[in-house]
Chains A and B, each alone.
Chain A
Amino acid sequence: MKPGQIFKSIISSMAAILVALFQVALAQEGGKALPPPEKPASLMLARALMCEGIKEFEPHNQTIIFPAALGQAVCFTAFDPVPEKTEIYHNWYKRDQPRASFKLTLKPPKWASFSQIRLQSSDAGPWRVDITNANGKVFKTLRFSVTE
């Protein structure tokens, strides 16, 4: 190693030590340690309802009775906050028998989504929709009836 190079490396090492010491001093000057990073807020179901349709991104005619002649039933859900991109499910049951399942993707910071089924007169009876996460945790159960 040349004498010039040795000098440069000593200088740079000293500079690094000085920077480190400066940072420690700054920290001590504040009187406390740095706070831990904040835990992200969990997914929250803000609204869930059954309705006859969706108009302008909003549920139209909230109801629990769906005449089969109406042709469709809609399950509307709104989540706020949505901390991260995630998936939820709308599981539709007629008399405890699964009839349909929809996977819906939610994106931060908040998200509304819906699922809908076509109705026939043979669908008459009591129904429910379980709104769950990917692990099967039920956020809410919506109950309604399809009439002839």
Chain B
Amino acid sequence: MHKFLTFVSSIRWQDILDITFNGYILFRLYALFRGTDTFRVLIGIAFLWLMQRMAVSMGLILTSWMMEGITAVAAIIVIVVFRNEIRSVFRARNIWSILWGLPHKHTRTPVEIISKSVYALAQQRIGALIVLPGRKDMEEVVQKGIPWDGHISTQMIKSIFWPNNPVHDGAAIVRGDRVAEVSAILPLSQRRDLPLVYGTRHRAAAGLAELTDALIIVVSEERGTVTIAKGSELRTIHTEKDFKLVLRRHLGIREDQAGYLKKRRIELSAAAVSSLLIVFLVWFSISRGFDAIKSFDIPIEYANLSPKLELLSSSVTSVRVYVTGSGALLRSIRPEQIRVRLDLGKAVAGTNDYAITEDHLSIPPGLSLKEIRPMVVDVTLDERIRKVLPVQADWVGKLPAGLILVRARITPPEVEVTGPRTVLDDIKTLYTTPIPLNNITDSGTTKTGVVLPSALLTLSPKSQEKVEVAYEAGRTD
């Protein structure tokens, strides 16, 4: 009980937000893809991933590699193979319905009118082929017909399939309460077990039913029968009552609408809870499972150093940080994600001792600090001052025989440098970069740079980086 309470108290608001957000994404994926092949394959991939994790935890190296590879390939295959289905899920939906709305079947399809029309056609021995799409995309398998977009009525259906109508061949596709297309060409089934009495119209219905989740209505002009094709099943429906029942079931229209809605609500609630639970378990396995310790060498960052002070030295330039967390999380952490930052805002000239605590540390969520070594850092600061120093030429090499340099004049003779007081106190002279003597044959001038003896020193902005050395040559006596 104590452990449980400790665990609950350790959950941060960020964790709750994390779980809720990802749980909602999972739930939305379920709501959008429910009933599609994509969803079933995604479940399969999730199962593969679970197997892979189990193989890793059991030390089955080869299996885990194989599972990992299959999972990665399967994820790509899903996108490629089911691209149309994925597209149809997102297509025709605005961002609001993707993020919030629940997909529902079109309940507006007028079952009564379709039923009455179909049986009227059957009675008059007029052949007909009507497609009521399911959730799967049919674009790949149905050859696009003629756009119709007509409000469904008995007269319209009759007129479409009237033998002398130019569009009576092919299938009419019904979406909602409208005939969306006519004269659509359906793929023919290659099945050999179909009764011989079935002609091309029946084969087309069986072909589309095999490839999609659509329901196809076939009216035989020879026998005056009504046949329904769905999945691998071809069933002749003799009564209008049974026909309506099949249609309603396909369209998701229930007699007991209230009961259906309640069932649907329960199903979605269960899906929402399951999504949260799954995400919680994943979060737990990543952030809380199997505590491990890992050390990182993190360079110390200094902040808020007064412009009047100079950082001379510190006892260490980096500290070793030991953090604990789940092994999975620790493996994914890069040293750049951990920062040690010392605030030098209150530091003074001289040596400042800083005890490094968790306050100075920034570590990714889900990890906690175990130890820092060393715990104390000595930071030596010095007052930043300006000093004017004379510049002296640094001659090197050898003058030609008989030649001497009598005197040299440097312009400007002095430069101003900025740096720590303790460093500048010991410096009385600045020297030029070495000036070679070998090429000198007579009096002349040369321009050369000034060497700063410490990296902590900088030339003041008003000082020139180069000085001019004018020298006077003479002959030895």
A interface vs B, CB < 8 Å? 52, 60-65, 67, 93, 95-96, 124-126, 128, 141, 143, 145, 147-148
Nearest CB in chain A: distance from B226 CB, A: 110
Report whether A61 and B437 are in contact in the complex, using a CB–CB cutoff of 8 Å. Answer: no
Could you say which of B405, B428, B477 contacts A64, with CB atoms under 8 Å apart? Answer: B405
Asked if B263 CB lies within 8 Å of chain A CBs, one says: no
Who on chain A is nearest to B404 by CB?
A63
- If A61-B477, A143-B392 touch, does A126 touch B431 (CB 8 Å cutoff)? yes
- The CA of A125 and the CA of B434, in the complex, are separated in Å by 10
- 10 nearest A-B pairs in the assembled complex, by CB-CB distance: A145-B395, A63-B404, A96-B428, A65-B405, A143-B392, A126-B394, A64-B405, A126-B392, A61-B476, A62-B406
Known: A64-B405, A65-B399. 5 other contacts (CB 8 A): A62-B407, A63-B404, A65-B437, A128-B429, A141-B390
A52 to B390, CA, bound (A): 25
Residues of B within 8 A of A62 (CB): 404, 406-407, 474
CB neighbors of A among B426-477 (8 A): 426-429, 431, 437, 474, 476-477
Contact residues in B for A148 (Cβ distance below 8 Å): 396, 398
Task: Say what secondary structure dominates the interface of chain A.
Answer: strand
The distance from the CB of B422 to the nearest CB of chain A, in whole angstroms, is 15
**A60-B437 contact, Cβ under 8 Å, with A126-B393, A128-B429, A147-B398:** no
Contacts A61-B476, A128-B429 given: A145-B394 contact, CB under 8 Å? yes
Encoded as 1 (CB less than 8 Å from any A CB) or 0, chain B from 179 to 222 comes to: 00000000000000000000000000000000000000000000
A64 touches B429 (CB 8 A): no
Q: Are the C-beta atoms of A147 and B395 separated by less than 8 Å? A: yes
Chain B CB within 10 Å, residue with most, of A67, A126, A128: A126
Contacts of B398 in A (CB 8 A): 67, 147-148
Distance from A49 Cβ to chain B, minimum over Cβ atoms (Å) = 8
Contacts of A147 in B (CB 8 A): 395-399, 437
Known contacts A60-B477, A145-B394, A147-B397; A96/B405 CB under 8 A: no
Nearest-neighbour CB distance to chain A for B127, whole angstroms, equals 111
Please state if A96 and B426 are interface contacts (CB–CB under 8 Å).
yes
**Chain A residue, CB-CB nearest to B406:** A62
Mask: chain B, 384-419; 1 = CB below 8 Å from A; 0 = not: 000000101111111100001111100000000000
Contacts of B428 in A (CB 8 A): 93, 96
Given A145-B394, A145-B395; A96-B429 close (CB under 8 Å): yes
With a cutoff of 8 Å between Cβ atoms, the chain B residues found around residue A143 in the complex are 392-393, 408
The residue in chain B whose Cβ has the minimal distance to the Cβ of A67 is: B398
Tell me the bound Cα distance from A93 to B427 in angstroms: 12
Q: List 12 A-B pairs, Cβ < 8 Å.
A: A62-B407, A62-B474, A64-B395, A64-B406, A64-B407, A65-B404, A95-B429, A124-B396, A143-B392, A145-B393, A145-B394, A148-B396
Residues of A contacting B476 with CB < 8 Å? 52, 61
B395 close to A63 (CB less than 8 A): no
Q: Assess whether A125 is in contact with B394, with CB atoms less than 8 Å apart.
A: yes
- A141 cross-chain contacts in B, Cβ below 8 A: 390
CA distance in complex: A124, B392 (Å): 14
- Chain A proximity of B404: nearest CB distance (Å): 4
Instruction: Kindly report which residue of chain A lies nearest to residue B428, judged by CB atoms.
Output: A96
Residue numbers in A under 8 Å from B474 (CB-CB): 62-63
Once the chains bind, are B396 and A63 in contact (CB under 8 Å)? no
Contacts of A95 in B (CB 8 A): 429, 431
Q: Which residue of B lies closest to A64 (CB)?
A: B405
Give bound CA distance, A128 to B390, whole Å.
12
Q: Which residue of A lies closest to B476 (CB)?
A: A61
